[in-house]
Copies of this chain bind each other. A is one copy, B any other.
C-alpha cells in the first residue's frame, strides 16, 4: 500500500487505533516503523489517578499538530507521519496520543518520533485535568508549578 505523501494529523474523541496509525505510516520504501503511544497511567506525581479529561483550543491545536508533522517531515526526510491526540474523558490505560512514523531507516524513525512528541508537549494547546481517588480534580501543569499552588485550582 502506498499512502498519500503527506502527514495525517487529527484530534479525536474516539479511541486511538494504533494499528490504523501504523498503516498510515507504511510505504514500500520504509524499512522501519516507530509508534509512540501515550497512556493514562494510574499514578502521577505520587497521587492515585482514576482518569483524565483532555481539552484543547481545538482550532489552534489542530494547526500546531499539522505544523509539527510538516516540520518533522522536512527535518527527518519522511512524509509518513500520523499523529492523533484524544480529547474528552479517558480511563486508565487508554491512549491519549499516538504517533506513527515510517522511514527507510530506523534511526530516522526513532529520531522523528521522539522529536514529534517533545514538540507536541511543548507547543500544542491541550490541557488535562486529572481525577484523583479522593474525588478531587486538578489541572496539570507540566512546568512543575501546579495550578493549585498558584491558586488556580478548582
Chain A interfacial positions (CB closer than 8 Å to B): 1, 18-19, 22, 26, 28-43, 92-93, 102, 104, 106, 109-110, 113-114, 117
A32 to chain B: closest residue by CB = B38
CB neighbours (8 Å) of A35 from chain B are 18, 22, 33-35, 37
Asked whether A110 and B114 contact (CB < 8 A) given A29-B41, A41-B28, the answer is yes
CB neighbours (8 Å) of A113 from chain B are 34, 110
CB neighbours (8 Å) of A29 from chain B are 41-43
Q: Is the CB of B117 within 8 A of A38?
A: no
* Interchain CA distance A40-B30 in the complex, whole Å: 8
Asked whether A93 and B19 contact (CB < 8 A) given A32-B39, A35-B35, A43-B29, the answer is no
